Structure 1
């Protein structure tokens, strides 16, 4: 049995469903309600498929390239840590990705599915949180289920985007994104230390 709360917190931090709300509002400006629902469904579905691919094939690809998972764990933890720092000190997710909307006019795929929901941090977490050496198939399935649950939460929040945005605004989404960045930094540090321990057999 996995620690569902810990796994949920990690995926909630890297996917950041609340931070997706302002991005969704910006990218669907001018669309009717039916079109917005379709965009929300497609973007969350595509993101789920991308993350499931990394759960299933991520470690296999590393094995084929003869890259030990511990090395990926160290590098992935460092990247996640840098990603977390950008969430804390840089532009928040809604601020950064809303700018992408202004440059490009794709809807469901970019920037919603990638990188808003299935971003680099989420892809790395999908691999690191389903390590074959530590988790059996059932535990990996549970982890994947939690991950898909967070994606589904992002879908629900996109459906309720208008009301949520009126309540918290961009400032509220920015604060939540930075808090999630702090939690992610701690999780990334833990992953890096675990990778160093495994690599050097400490």
Structure 2
């Protein structure tokens, strides 16, 4: 069956059982509609993945909760220097999380760790972080040894700002879980990278304006937001733990 010149559809010449022009138009319209539908589904999946990854990471990263600590460890520095530290820290967050996103599945395979194992362990870590934040003392009274040591450093952008305050164990655990879920699906991996980029930009925006934000909402407002984020962390951690546990219980031994 020889194709009709100029068309890549099932539209053949009369001597070989020609389809009518009307039928050819129908198939062309069907192909266009199908292609448009598939395109919209791809875009929808891409955007949904960005939203899912961003909303999963933001409460764990918790730049609003880190902002008071950031102001404490950069006390006495000029605003320009503080913004530089915020920018560098956010860039480090992007590279740390992107590295674990791209290499996460290979790391798990190398150590023989299953996706369900990561979900359970990550759920426990995230739940622990959330519970600790729920029961910690108010920001104004909190002064950890790590914060005191950071105040003596000239550059705090990588440690402790990026790691472990922003990109801590809980954030890395969630990213590695997504890495295993999105393995070899380059579209979803690209969407996750965009989500991490947006998260890093959010961290920079909040930290660079931390003094103004805290002045607007006050210490009490910051503590309330931290408690809300902590509760969301507990919910995310429990959900991760349950999803991994249920899947293991229902999988054949």
- Bigger radius of gyration: 2
Cα contact 2:131–2:230 (8 A) shared by 1: yes
Equivalent position SS for 2:250: coil
Cα contact 1:92–1:178 (8 A) shared by 2: no
CA RMSD of aligned residues (A): 2.3
Query: Which residue in 2 is equivalent to 1:36?
Result: 82
TM-score by length of 2: 0.72
CA displacement, residues 99-157 of structure 1 (integer Å, 9 cap, x when unaligned): 52223323222221112211111111111233336782211221232122112101011
TM-score by length of 1: 0.88
Query: Which residue in 1 is equivalent to 2:33?
Result: none
1:153 to 196, 202, 208: 202
2:128 to 56, 66, 82: 82
Query: Which residue in 2 is equivalent to 1:190?
Result: 239
Higher relative contact order (CA 8 A, sep 6+): 1
CA displacement, residues 73-108 of structure 1 (integer Å, 9 cap, x when unaligned): 111111211111112123467865765222332322
Cα contact 1:42–1:108 (8 A) shared by 2: yes
Distance, in Å, in 1 between the alignment partners of 2:58 and 2:235 is 14
Mean CA deviation greater in 152-161 or 29-38: 29-38
Mean CA deviation greater in 125-134 or 25-34: 125-134
Unaligned runs of 5+ in 2: 1-44
Equivalent position SS for 1:130: helix
Distance, in Å, in 1 between the alignment partners of 2:183 and 2:159 is 34
Unaligned runs of 5+ in 1: none
Query: Which residue in 1 is equivalent to 2:226?
Result: 177
Cα contact 1:23–1:94 (8 A) shared by 2: no
User: What count of residue pairs does the alignment treat as equivalent?
Assistant: 202
Query: Which residue in 1 is equivalent to 2:174?
Result: 125
Distance, in Å, in 2 between the alignment partners of 1:153 and 1:101 is 22
2:73 to 20, 27, 41: 27
Mean CA deviation greater in 144-153 or 61-70: 144-153
Distance, in Å, in 2 between the alignment partners of 1:161 and 1:98 is 19
Cα contact 2:133–2:226 (8 A) shared by 1: yes
Distance, in Å, in 2 between the alignment partners of 1:91 and 1:49 is 32
